[in-house]
Amino acid sequence: MIKGNVKHQNIESIPINFIPISKTIQLDNGETIAGLDVKTHCLITGYVAQNLIKIYPENIQNLLFPQGTALLAACHDIGKISPAFQKMIYGSITKPDPTVISILSEANADAAKRKEYAFHAKVTQAVLADKPKYIPEIEGMHHGFHPNNSPCMESVYGGAAWTGKRHELLSYLEKKFLQPKQAWPSCIPDWNRASILGGLITVADWIASGGKFAGLEQAPQLADRLQQMAANAVSEAGFIPFQIRQDLSFSDIFGVSPYPIQASFFESVTGPGVYILEAPMGIGKTEAALYAAYRMLAEGKATGLYFGLPTQLTSNKIYERVQHFLEKIIGKSDNAIALKLLHSSAWLEETILGEDGDAGRSWFDSSKRGILAPFAVGTVDQALMAVMNVRHSMVRAFGLAGKVVILDEVHSYDAYTGTILNSLVKCLREIGCTVLILSATLTSHQKNNLLAQRNISNSIDAYPLVTVALDGVDTTEFREIPVKQEGGRTVEVSFCSRSRDVLEMALEKAEKGQQVLWIENTVDEAQNVYRQVAARTSGTKIECGLVHSRFIKKRRTENEAYWTSLFGKDGRDNRKERGRILIGTQVLEQSLDIDADFLITRLCPTDMLLQRIGRLWRHTENDNIRPKGSSCSVVILAPSYEETLKKPDTFGLSAAIYSEYVLCRTLEIWEDIHTLHLPGDIRDLLERTYMDREESGRLRKLKDDMLAVKNRLEGFARITQSTAVQTFSESAVQTRYSDLENCKVLLLRSFVKTGRGYVLSFPDEMDILEIPAMATGLASKAKRHIARVLEEHCVTVAEKNAPLYDRTVQMFSSYIYTGSQEDDEHPFRAVIIGPDEYLRGIQNDLLENDDKRFLYNIILGYQIQRDRRCV
């Protein structure tokens, strides 16, 4: 059965006496002309792949890239030698050769479109069907998805004459990229290794399709120039060798001597494998992991670094620490290059990552392309998609190959994300990575799943603890290293069920000069608390702030930088100025080096609760300047345990975020705690919260509900990793079940059409941006600058909490990826903030979605109004 509404034609009689072209070029005047021929483009792609492979240390090359790998990249577009594709591409030329158009008149151009039976990647897959295992499939997937699975029929691919031309090119490429008597790569052991090769093919194609090669004449004398041009293009795309300074000590990099916990961890990291550090909040797990990464890089055992964190805020703050780290370990001549690669905004504007990395394309997004840089800090989501059936999963796997991958705060993921995370760790072990897992609150069950060793019974009941799992040729090494923890602190714990009573406590503490941190479980609750606090502190010396994920990127970055500087190590001198109340969500509980004098938190599961308490009296150097009467104490906002057993819905909005059963178990344990000893109590609290036990009454029902959800989420997670279903689009794929189908919303203050284009202004500034009506002819750097400015004024929200899709957003498609009609993917909206703060469309129509209306305020952020109430 042939997929799509395309007429099946027998076109064996079509001759091929013309040069098949691979690309077209759009001139500044809007005219489209023929670009490179298929043969030259394939040759360039092979040369690009050769240069990409050279960047890797020899041991990683030997592990991941068998002899002849560059040939795989060179062969990717052989399928463009087909009548349907040539009819499609010649038909897009403004003034095509009439002779060629006449020759191709019987071909069906529609059949060459994505997802149709003559799509060129599918033809390539058919040409290479007799090659070793995995090769045909990864060739067919070089555009990021599995091609149409209809039968391969030579007759619709042009018959014998066209088949002969394809094999003629194949023979030519084999002579170019294989040594005499050398066979095709045949030692690809598993799909994870195959994905690395598939990602290499795709990235090499992107670079080879970039502007660097546009307008090249089609001539044999190009051959000598192409290799050098390919090398230059690879460098300009950001794939640049770097030199690591040798023999640096921990104190050389971080300015202090390591704690015993830190030393035990980095000394245990000796080669690719999985290493877990379980240690208290605030002991420097990040620095321990970075120094372990330095040792691997200095010894040539790793290709780079990817630091994956749960949220964008945590990745922003870790970025600053990694930047300092890179300044220390990379030689001065390479420093600017390395930092540019780390800093996504600079890379967006100054670096061209081939065709799909240009403005308006899906991989222009810094959160995606960062995974390809030698050094990057980002959310764990992009790494998770390396093992999911999502567009360009192979590119992500290629980006991670051979790197040190640091996964921080791994305890914070639900059953859905945790299932995918387990698969990711397994994949990373197989592709030569050094995986460093950090957590203060990891349960033994979670650790067993991460290591895929379910027979571990945590024989060493110690905390802190270093765990090592190495994969040898014949054996797997597993060991646990207990570490003595010196010092610690005591925390006073109390409960309160009424927010207004807690509000009075917060105000009282702040009036005495204390730095108060108030963490809620949802953005809606945080916004409501802020309204109340702001109203009560207006006209006083108390300063209050709000941090959550629903601000535009530019505002969010500035806001977070301001507040983390006040509550962080650099804010020591500012603490004496005035009392402060900072309200926020879960983004404040992870990977942030902030220090509060007093903590208020909504009840959450034990592991998250411990993380939040880790922000309390974090820096001992501040103890002598804390306001008189301060005590290390936390107030937990929660109903009584007895009340939760009698009444449903006692946890309010928190029940939509966390399992009610886990909240009940947490409350049962914590309600009797008045004094908490850290880190001594951490292991016991975690295991008591999550140990399995028989339940009765309401707890039994809540447990059954939790297990049902857990099983469903794990099932969904397995589906997203299955190649038996259609490839998911990148915006629709779920890496966290609660975040399904996110989209970007561009927030404008005004949008004015002019004779030359459009003039835009933004929510919280007077600056304006002019964009032309047509991007044709606009310089590439100017186009990328516009794209970056637009990105900075977007907020990311769940699609269910965004205005409905409107086709008018296509006017921004030259700068921001607005989606794919074929995938029914619409990850972008553009709105205007009205004088009343309600969001309106470009045509000034009030925007809604399922009876919800939306507002934006520069202080409160993006708001959702339900039932005429703003929550």
- For residue 272, whether the previous peptide bond is cis, meaning omega lies within 30 degrees of 0, is no
Pick the more confident residue, 634 or 786.
Answer: 634
580 and 437 in one domain?
no
| CA 76 to each of CA 124, 178, 202: distance values in angstroms, whole numbers, following the listed order | 6, 16, 9
| Percent of residues, the chain, with pLDDT higher than 70 | 85
Instruction: Give the type of residue at 831.
Output: V
Q: What is the pLDDT of residue 768?
A: 86
599 and 497 in one domain?
yes
29 and 167 in one domain?
yes
Any domain includes 227: yes
Buried b (16+ CB within 10 A) or exposed e, 602-634: bbbbbbbbbbbbbbbbbeeebeeebbeebebbb
Structure confidence at residue 442 as a pLDDT band (50, 70, 90):
confident
For residue 218, pLDDT beyond 70 = no
For residue 542, pLDDT beyond 70 = yes
Any domain includes 686: no
Structure confidence at residue 807 as a pLDDT band (50, 70, 90):
confident
**DSSP letters spanning 621-651:** GGGGGSPTT---EEEEE---HHHHHH-TTTT
Q: What is the pLDDT of residue 30?
A: 73
Mean pLDDT is lowest, of 44-48, 250-254, 443-447, 861-865, for 443-447
- For residue 835, whether the previous peptide bond is cis, meaning omega lies within 30 degrees of 0, is no
Any domain includes 728: no
**pLDDT, mean of residues 745-752:** 92
Q: What is the pLDDT of residue 1?
A: 29
For residue 319, pLDDT beyond 80 = no
Structural domain boundaries enclosing 116: 24-236
* pTM (predicted TM-score): 0.86
Of 482, 512, 533, the residue that ends a domain is 482
Of 464, 482, 500, the residue that ends a domain is 482
**pLDDT, mean of residues 311-317:** 62
Total of domains in the chain: 4
What residues pair up with 728 in beta bridges, in sequence order? 390
**Tens-place pLDDT, residues 63-102:** 899 999 999 999 999 999 998 898 899 888 888 888 888 8
Structure confidence at residue 9 as a pLDDT band (50, 70, 90):
very low
Q: What is the pLDDT of residue 792?
A: 87
268 and 192 in one domain?
no
Pick the more confident residue, 5 or 133.
Answer: 133
529 and 466 in one domain?
no
Pick the more confident residue, 147 or 585.
Answer: 585
Structure confidence at residue 506 as a pLDDT band (50, 70, 90):
very high
Q: What is the pLDDT of residue 737?
A: 47
CB atoms within 10 A of CB 754: 10
**pLDDT, mean of residues 689-709:** 90
**pLDDT, mean of residues 127-151:** 85
CB atoms within 10 A of CB 687: 15
497 and 460 in one domain?
no
Structure confidence at residue 11 as a pLDDT band (50, 70, 90):
low
HSE-CB at 330 with a 13 A cutoff on CA atoms is 24
Pick the more confident residue, 736 or 637.
Answer: 637
Any domain includes 294: yes
Residues 6+ apart with CB under 8 A from 535: none
Q: What is the pLDDT of residue 217?
A: 55
- Backbone angles phi and psi of 18, in degrees to 5: -135, 170
For residue 837, pLDDT beyond 80 = yes
- Long-range (24+ apart) CB contacts under 8 A made by 460-463 are 461/683, 463/278, 463/279, 463/679, 463/682, 463/683
For residue 7, pLDDT beyond 60 = no
Q: What is the pLDDT of residue 278?
A: 92
Any domain includes 713: no
Contact (CB, 8 A) for 362 and 356: yes
For residue 428, pLDDT beyond 50 = yes
**pLDDT, mean of residues 176-186:** 88
**pLDDT, mean of residues 199-206:** 93
For residue 187, pLDDT beyond 60 = yes
Contact (CB, 8 A) for 601 and 634: yes
Q: Which two tokens stand for residue 669?
A: 């344990």
497 and 585 in one domain?
yes
Contact (CB, 8 A) for 746 and 790: yes
| Percent of residues, the chain, with pLDDT higher than 90 | 39
| Mean pLDDT taken over the chain | 84
Q: What is the pLDDT of residue 475?
A: 54
CATH of the domain at 53: 1.10.3210.30
**Tens-place pLDDT, residues 12-41:** 567 788 889 888 887 777 788 888 899 999
Mean pLDDT is lowest, of 124-133, 443-452, 511-520, 826-835, for 443-452
**pLDDT, mean of residues 161-190:** 90
Q: What is the pLDDT of residue 316?
A: 63
Report the C-alpha gap between 722 and 720 in whole angstroms.
6
CATH of the domain at 545: 3.40.50.300
493 and 478 in one domain?
no
Q: What is the pLDDT of residue 344?
A: 45
Any domain includes 74: yes
Q: What is the pLDDT of residue 215?
A: 64
Q: Is the four-CA dihedral 715, 716, 719, 720 of positive or negative sign?
A: negative
For residue 351, pLDDT beyond 70 = no
Any domain includes 478: yes
534 and 565 in one domain?
yes
Q: What is the pLDDT of residue 348?
A: 47
Mean pLDDT is lowest, of 449-453, 514-518, 559-563, for 449-453
Pick the more confident residue, 133 or 344.
Answer: 133
For residue 685, pLDDT beyond 70 = yes
Full strand arrangement of the beta sheet holding 794-798? 794-798, 742-748, 828-833, 839-840
228 and 279 in one domain?
no
**Tens-place pLDDT, residues 650-661:** 999 999 889 999
624 and 559 in one domain?
yes
**Tens-place pLDDT, residues 256-279:** 999 999 999 999 999 999 999 999
The enclosing H or E element of 829 equals strand 828-833
Of 202, 236, 270, the residue that ends a domain is 236
Any domain includes 803: yes
259 and 217 in one domain?
no
**pLDDT, mean of residues 461-487:** 79
**Tens-place pLDDT, residues 581-594:** 999 998 888 756 78
